[in-house]
Amino acid sequence: MLLRKSSLICCVLLAGANVFAAGPRIDITAQLIGYDLVQATGAPSENTELPRITVRAGSEGIIEVSRDFKYGQHGFRRLAHLGIRMPVYVQMGEDGKLRFLLRAELCERQDPADPTSAVLKMTTSFDGQALPGKPRIIQVTTPNGKQATLQITFTPR
């Protein structure tokens, strides 16, 4: 009886693995232009190539260049991720086009020299389509209300 249950569990796991392995892998590369990630990296960076990630079609990955910053507010301890955190969900259509959702979160301290300065965060959500291998340009809003450019490319393997 134990052998049958083990065999059944293995069959279910292998069948599930085949479902997940069915989608193509997609390389995601991105560049952030016009926003200084100095608070995350320690060096000025108005034009930053973000880390490349690879995801399966139908799944989500996160692109991140950030530094954790702990601060107090009204007796509570909070954690901010200074820099950029960007979850990206990608799905491939039957027509070969890629549909994606992303949420670019930019976070910075208003005055890095002042330990009591405010932590500012701005989130830009985007739902769009892209052609494989072709850069897609997206305008994102920065915490200080300006615009930066996100150039993102999806390349199936």
Range of the domain at 65: 25-156
- The string of pLDDT tens digits covering residues 128-149 is 999 999 999 999 999 999 999 9
- Asked if residue 7 belongs to a domain, the reply is no
What is the Cα–Cα distance from 95 to 62, expressed in whole angstroms? Answer: 25
Residue 119 has a pLDDT of 93
Q: CB within 8 A of 137, min separation 6: which ones?
A: 149, 150, 151
Given phi > 0 = left and psi -120 to 50 = alpha, else beta, which region is 19?
A: alpha
Residue 10 pLDDT more than 90? no
Residue 112 pLDDT more than 70? yes
For the chain, the domain total comes to 1
- Asked if residue 75 belongs to a domain, the reply is yes
Residue 15 has a pLDDT of 43
Q: CB within 8 A of 58, min separation 6: which ones?
A: 23, 90, 91, 92
Q: What's the average model confidence in pLDDT over 26-54? A: 95
- Asked if residue 151 belongs to a domain, the reply is yes
Q: Are 45 and 69 in contact, with CB atoms under 8 Å apart?
A: no
CA dihedral 109, 137, 130, 105 (to 10 degrees): 10
- Asked if residue 12 belongs to a domain, the reply is no
- Asked if residue 9 belongs to a domain, the reply is no
Q: Are 101 and 86 in contact, with CB atoms under 8 Å apart?
A: no
Q: Are 119 and 80 in contact, with CB atoms under 8 Å apart?
A: yes
Confidence tier at 37 by pLDDT (50, 70, 90) = very high
Residue 13 has a pLDDT of 43
- Asked if residue 10 belongs to a domain, the reply is no
